Structure 1
Amino acid sequence: MPNPPLDDAQHDAVAAPETLDDSLQDADAGQAGEAIAAHLARFNARLIHANESVAIEVSGELPGLLTEDEALPFRLVPEQGVLARIAKWRRFTPEQRLVLVQERLNETTLDALHTQIADFVAHIQRRAFRAGLDATAFLGALQTGRELVGRRFRVVEDRLDEAIHRKQEQTHAEAAMQSVPLARYPESFELAAGMRRRFVAILGPTNSGKTHQAMEALAQAKTGVYLAPLRLLALENYERLAEQGIAVSLVTGEERRVTEGATHVASTVEMLDTTRAIEVAVIDEIQMLEDLERGSGWTAAVCGVPAKTVYLLGALAARPAVEALAQRLECPLEVITLQRKSPLEMEVQAVASLGHLRHGDAVIAFSRREVLDWAANVSKAGLKVATIYGNLSPEVRRAQAQRFRDGEADVVVATDAIGMGLNMPIRRVVFTTAKKYDGISEDLLPAWLAQQIAGRAGRYGIHEAGHVAGFDDSTHRHISRLMKQHPSDLPERGFFVTPSLEQLENISRATHEKSLARLLELFSRNIDLSDDFFLPGNLTEQIERAYWLDQLRLSLAQRFTFSLVPISSRVAMLNDAWQGWARNVANGKACWLSADLEGFEHARFPLQAAEDACKKYSAYAWLGYRLPDFFPDAEAAVAIARETSEKVDRMLASQNNSQRRATVRDDRSAPKRRHVRGNDQSRGGHLRARRGR
């Protein structure tokens, strides 16, 4: 029978779970902790957390439920599996945790779960049989895991309801489903599907020489493309190829540098041209396949790049995913694994003091505010600083990195933005914290991210070894543990896909639906019903934008384009600009750049305003390359964005230098002080205290 509805607390508790992090397990040391682990293992269970709650996830198989000889696998959170909010869990003693886990997971509760699943499966099979459908296709949702049993039951019910509705409304529903045959998604790339392609995966940690090996092959090819996750990386390898005398063009969402007669292209992954056959393609950072926001770009690139040889570069953890894709695409695969060229060593103890920072250090924080605070304090300690964080344009990040390379800066203070696309002579990576806010809560860093950032230390050919440390003792212990962990492998299915305009037009013709938001929802809801090898990417923000765009007199193609503009809806100035541009186009008016280009200099927060201005001009250029009749100033926007980026770079340099000069003046005018280490420690302590608030 159907499962009773979840209450709000249960629904919120398991909306988006993740594996339980080390920070929650620290207090479980000792006999009670071992008893919890043993108890969970006995029932094939584990602890997970979601939305600040701790829960039990159980895996298993129930024999004979699908057919007489076929068992039903499941991975679910039982109804009583939500244990406590994380804050409350942390207050429990290990013994209290053990009692609670034993109370919620035992022979009785497991039998109840099995009975609940069996009753539900029988109910679904009866409904499916009456509708002439195969229940097996829907029951696969019970092994998705990391969700409450009732929520998974509802997913199965919803999918079955939708399938029954489809059967009842065959003309409309079957036409919509047939218009997006994502089980045959690779076949939608006709040129690539018709080629005999070969994959070469070069996998290894940072500083293992992956890119060098692949780029050598690309440079020797008659034609080719390099696909990057960032404009910064595309630019770096564009220049790398150009320096070898290769005719190469740069193509990113916001910039075009077209070389006449170009044989090669350096591009961001979303800008792949699937209509031009080439000899060699290089797809960088292949582990981005798992990224919910942008992974669809890598899925499309692997399925659709029309190259005889395709190099896939990335982390070792990507191997199962790469092998699964190669098998699905029927492409031969060669896997080359590389080791790091220089050793990476964890230092014996924490840095502990700003006075212990040295030339060549990279200080890592995880927010713009923390980076600027640390940069100010490091400058006050007398060190020259470069600053890198995600909100900066690629040009500014590159310029700040160059200051560090040229010795104009002793230390770089950065977010995890340095983990990808910036090669710098970093001797030691110093983490100021082992936690990062993920939009919901502040959690311990995943092992792969900590290792990717740490791997920037010890550039081969510059340093004999790379070094890693935490600034304080607690951070040092956490990072030390993360450096020893083996990152989880990427899954072998569930590759993200987002719709093309052509696919949405197909759905529109089949269903007569005109709303972009509804078309996106149809795509998202329907594509995983028959084949979970490909799954919908995160369309939430695009759908929210589409609902607003549907109110305007824009064509479907124009609404689709505006829904994808790389601009933050959360920044009022940027959102206002985006909406203004869309209204202008709806009214048939061209969008010219404003004459007032210096307003950010008079803003309350000039640096933030200048950063946002860079994003605005880049977004205008992005639109200019797609809707040139309405955005005629695209080239000017690129130039203004570059000029504004140079101003941001100067503002950062001036800000950091002024802090250092002020410290030097204070030191010269003040009496000679002893106990410098104590002063440094107090600064570090102040920063740690701020993070704790």
Structure 2
Amino acid sequence: MPTANTPYDPLDNTGAEPIAEVARPDEQIAAYLGRFGARFIHTHESIAIEVAGELRGELDENLSVPFRLVPDQGVLARVAKWRRLTAEQRLALVQERLNADVLDALHTQLQSLILTVERRAFKAGLEPARFLGALQSGRELASRRCQIVEDRLADAIIHKREESQRDVALRTVPLARYPESFTLAAGLRRRFVAILGPTNSGKTHRAMESLARAKNGVYLAPLRLLALENYERLSEQGVAVSLVTGEERRITEGATHVASTIEMLDIHRRVEVAVIDEIQMLEDLERGAAWTAAVCGVPADTVFLLGSVSARAAIEALAQRLDCALEVVTLQRKSPLEVAPQAIGGLNRLQRGDAVIAFSRRDVLEWAAQIARVGHKVAAIYGNLSPEVRRTQAQRFREGEADIVVATDAIGMGLNLPIRRVVFTTADKYDGISQDQLPVWLTHQIAGRAGRYGMHEAGFVAGFDDATHRTIARLLKIRPDALPTRGFFVTPSLDQLQQIASATNENQLGKLLELFSRNIDLSDDFFLPGDFSEQIERARWLDTLRLTLTQRFTFSLVPISMRVSMLSDAWHNWARNVANNRPNYLSHDLESFERAKYPLQAAEDACKKYSAYAWLGYRLPDFFPDAEAAVAIARETSERVDRMLAAQNGSKASHHKPDKKPQRRVVRHHGNRRH
């Protein structure tokens, strides 16, 4: 039986002024309350009955559970009404609201709660008393307090599970042993050959000659365009080579070599020679993990690492960590690079063979239009163009069909063009967060495209206006910072996520990615999780669909911009169809571009859409059966984009020849938009 408490005046207990009518309850009410271990309390302007007692655990007899609660029927009346009741009415009300049946119901309610808490707490490795102590709050209805106990237990179980998952994830994928996850490469005695130097120093030529002579090998490129260029280079040398990118496959029967984008590395195919291009991309927060994976995981006897001299220390650190022999070859630029004595100063001073650099699609198109109007034929290259269009635009410039190429920094990687002079229209670039001065390394990389060896005796660099010219000249005098020698980025593979899922019983992709990102054993910080926040954002939505983990992981990586409504809508619809077990068939209307408000933009976005469909088609062929058709349509659409650009920039201009720099629009950027 509950232990009785001395009854007391409910209003005195609250600290309020006593009310005469209830200041001294009659002995009959006091005796009745005493029989049940109860007392009056004042709660929320009402008079109620509070019962105190103690129960024992159902599973643990040593568990003592004291309680002090208001039974759900224990609220008697508001103070004003209580004052108007006679002593007899008060006694009758107390007897109605507190009796053996009410107390039995309270005990049953609490014993059921205790049993539930014991079972759930013990299963989670928690102490039940930690939560059941909340039953001593007093002044609160039993049902409300029981719910609080259950809520606190549920929160603790979630927290405990998260802690357990973190511990398991920590043990499951230790990043300190990341290289060991590439079992084939880890079992080889690999040799690294770093060929480092500026643009136009012959790095790629030397490595590709070794690759062509090897009995088998792989070339890993940062861009589909570069993979295609070196696929053709090897083919022209009589090498049986296949092209493998995310969006395209050109499989040659009996191929001994593969040219691919770096993310498409096959870690299970051993080769004699591998070439990893643009090794300085190790430092890139968004894509650097692909270079880390390639260096750690490419199963080649000899691995050529091509890039900037600034990557030397990072390569040495990786070679030491991977226990690989390292040879470093440093090359000098084959033709001199000079800063022009003065700024260009006007459109009519541009010359055939110039590359005019801007840093957004809009600016490229505006400059191209202005330059075309002063009589030059122009090619345009920017990031939103498909690789095929960039290539054909470059070809127009290379073959003399275009006098001048106007480009973003997309020109800085992988395009071999007969550029005599690089002209910067600005020394600022939006980096996804703010408009800032060009980084030193990027300035060097773009400027280095001037004076292609074998085409020009020297290369020249200039700014269009005086301020830009002075800034570019100063930046070219600064040596780019060396890459860090630790903190190499990694992202989780599907295998690693499946390991974590199996160990933690967690199947939500978003949570698995967060577990990897936040809780993996970093040990000495030599390897660090990269930035896959966008992947996590996609994963959270994908987790609402009935998709397998493999399907969700695949969709989370589709190379498509979620900031373009047409592309985002397509991605969401494709995922919903797969969740409903419906194939996604391809449909297209090439004439729709001409009906769009901005035909060129619509055609560019359509290229991205068809390429993304092809990307999915190679990974989920049952749900994307038209992958080959998508490649063909993307190529056809790219040709249309190229014709649009040629028509826009290739006609002879009017006689107006302005000498002023085009008026640059002020663009306010929101979010992490990149051009």
Whole-angstrom CA distance in 1 between matches of 2:666 and 2:377:
23
The Cα shift of 1:594 comes to 1.5
Partner in structure 2 of residue 236 of structure 1: 229
Q: What amino acid maps onto 1:307 in structure 2?
A: A
For the Cα contact (< 8 Å) 1:528–1:536, is it kept in 2? no
Q: What amino acid maps onto 2:265 in structure 1?
A: L
Say if 2:359 is the partner of 1:366: yes
**Relative to 1, partners in 2 of residues 1:170 and 1:639: Cα closer, same or farther, differing over 3 Å?**
closer
Partner in structure 1 of residue 254 of structure 2: 261
Correspondence 1:238-637 to 2 at 5 A:
238-527=231-520, 529-637=522-630
Partner in structure 1 of residue 18 of structure 2: none
Say if 2:658 is the partner of 1:680: yes
Correspondence 1:16-95 to 2 at 5 A:
none
Q: Secondary structure at the match of 2:289?
A: helix
Whole-angstrom CA distance in 1 between matches of 2:521 and 2:183:
22
Correspondence 1:107-126 to 2 at 5 A:
none
The Cα shift of 1:432 comes to 0.3
Q: Secondary structure at the match of 2:243?
A: strand
Partner in structure 1 of residue 190 of structure 2: 197
Say if 2:211 is the partner of 1:218: yes
Partner in structure 2 of residue 160 of structure 1: none
The Cα shift of 1:168 comes to 10
Whole-angstrom CA distance in 2 between matches of 1:629 and 1:179:
32
For the Cα contact (< 8 Å) 1:238–1:249, is it kept in 2? yes
For the Cα contact (< 8 Å) 2:239–2:257, is it kept in 1? yes
Q: Secondary structure at the match of 1:266?
A: strand
Whole-angstrom CA distance in 2 between matches of 1:467 and 1:346:
6
For the Cα contact (< 8 Å) 2:241–2:258, is it kept in 1? yes
The Cα shift of 1:621 comes to 0.1
For the Cα contact (< 8 Å) 1:296–1:495, is it kept in 2? yes
Structure with the larger helix share: 1
Post-superposition CA distance 1:570-593 (Å, at most 9, x none): 000000000000000000000000
The Cα shift of 1:526 comes to 1.5
Q: What amino acid maps onto 1:354 in structure 2?
A: L
Q: What amino acid maps onto 1:308 in structure 2?
A: D
Partner in structure 2 of residue 657 of structure 1: 650
Q: Secondary structure at the match of 1:309?
A: strand
Q: Secondary structure at the match of 1:680?
A: coil
The Cα shift of 1:166 comes to 11
For the Cα contact (< 8 Å) 2:363–2:664, is it kept in 1? no
The Cα shift of 1:692 comes to 11
For the Cα contact (< 8 Å) 1:203–1:315, is it kept in 2? yes
Q: What amino acid maps onto 2:663 in structure 1?
A: L
Q: What amino acid maps onto 1:414 in structure 2?
A: A
For the Cα contact (< 8 Å) 2:510–2:540, is it kept in 1? yes
Question: How many residues are paired up?
Answer: 512
The Cα shift of 1:203 comes to 0.3
Q: Secondary structure at the match of 2:227?
A: helix
Which residue, 184, 203, 206 being the options, matches 2:177? 184
For the Cα contact (< 8 Å) 2:242–2:259, is it kept in 1? yes
Correspondence 1:147-158 to 2 at 5 A:
none
Post-superposition CA distance 1:9-46 (Å, at most 9, x none): xxxxxxxxxxxxxxxxxxxxxxxxxxxxxxxxxxxxxx
Whole-angstrom CA distance in 2 between matches of 1:691 and 1:551:
36
Tell which deviates more after alignment, 168-177 or 549-558: 168-177
Q: What amino acid maps onto 1:653 in structure 2?
A: A
**Relative to 1, partners in 2 of residues 1:363 and 1:176: Cα closer, same or farther, differing over 3 Å?**
same
The Cα shift of 1:599 comes to 1.9
For the Cα contact (< 8 Å) 1:296–1:496, is it kept in 2? yes
Whole-angstrom CA distance in 2 between matches of 1:167 and 1:590:
41
The Cα shift of 1:317 comes to 0.2
Structural RMSD (CA): 1.7
Q: What amino acid maps onto 2:357 in structure 1?
A: I
Post-superposition CA distance 1:249-271 (Å, at most 9, x none): 00000000000110000000000
Whole-angstrom CA distance in 2 between matches of 1:631 and 1:692:
38
Whole-angstrom CA distance in 2 between matches of 1:173 and 1:441:
35
For the Cα contact (< 8 Å) 1:166–1:173, is it kept in 2? no
For the Cα contact (< 8 Å) 1:280–1:309, is it kept in 2? yes
Q: TM-score, normalised by structure 1?
A: 0.72
Whole-angstrom CA distance in 1 between matches of 2:159 and 2:528:
20
Post-superposition CA distance 1:646-669 (Å, at most 9, x none): 0000000001134x34x1xxx3xx
Q: Secondary structure at the match of 2:650?
A: helix
Q: What amino acid maps onto 2:366 in structure 1?
A: D
Whole-angstrom CA distance in 2 between matches of 1:167 and 1:555:
26
Partner in structure 2 of residue 63 of structure 1: none
Whole-angstrom CA distance in 2 between matches of 1:171 and 1:574:
39
Whole-angstrom CA distance in 1 between matches of 2:645 and 2:166:
56
For the Cα contact (< 8 Å) 2:289–2:530, is it kept in 1? yes
For the Cα contact (< 8 Å) 1:182–1:534, is it kept in 2? yes
For the Cα contact (< 8 Å) 1:204–1:315, is it kept in 2? yes
Q: Secondary structure at the match of 1:392?
A: coil
The Cα shift of 1:691 comes to 8.1
Partner in structure 1 of residue 15 of structure 2: none
Whole-angstrom CA distance in 2 between matches of 1:595 and 1:567:
18
For the Cα contact (< 8 Å) 2:166–2:519, is it kept in 1? no
**Relative to 1, partners in 2 of residues 1:334 and 1:194: Cα closer, same or farther, differing over 3 Å?**
same
Whole-angstrom CA distance in 1 between matches of 2:590 and 2:391:
23
**Relative to 1, partners in 2 of residues 1:170 and 1:550: Cα closer, same or farther, differing over 3 Å?**
closer
Whole-angstrom CA distance in 2 between matches of 1:597 and 1:643:
9
Post-superposition CA distance 1:344-386 (Å, at most 9, x none): 0000000001111000000000000000000000001111100
The Cα shift of 1:283 comes to 0.1
The Cα shift of 1:294 comes to 0.3
Whole-angstrom CA distance in 2 between matches of 1:495 and 1:342:
33
The Cα shift of 1:182 comes to 1.2
Whole-angstrom CA distance in 1 between matches of 2:601 and 2:167:
50
Q: TM-score, normalised by structure 2?
A: 0.74
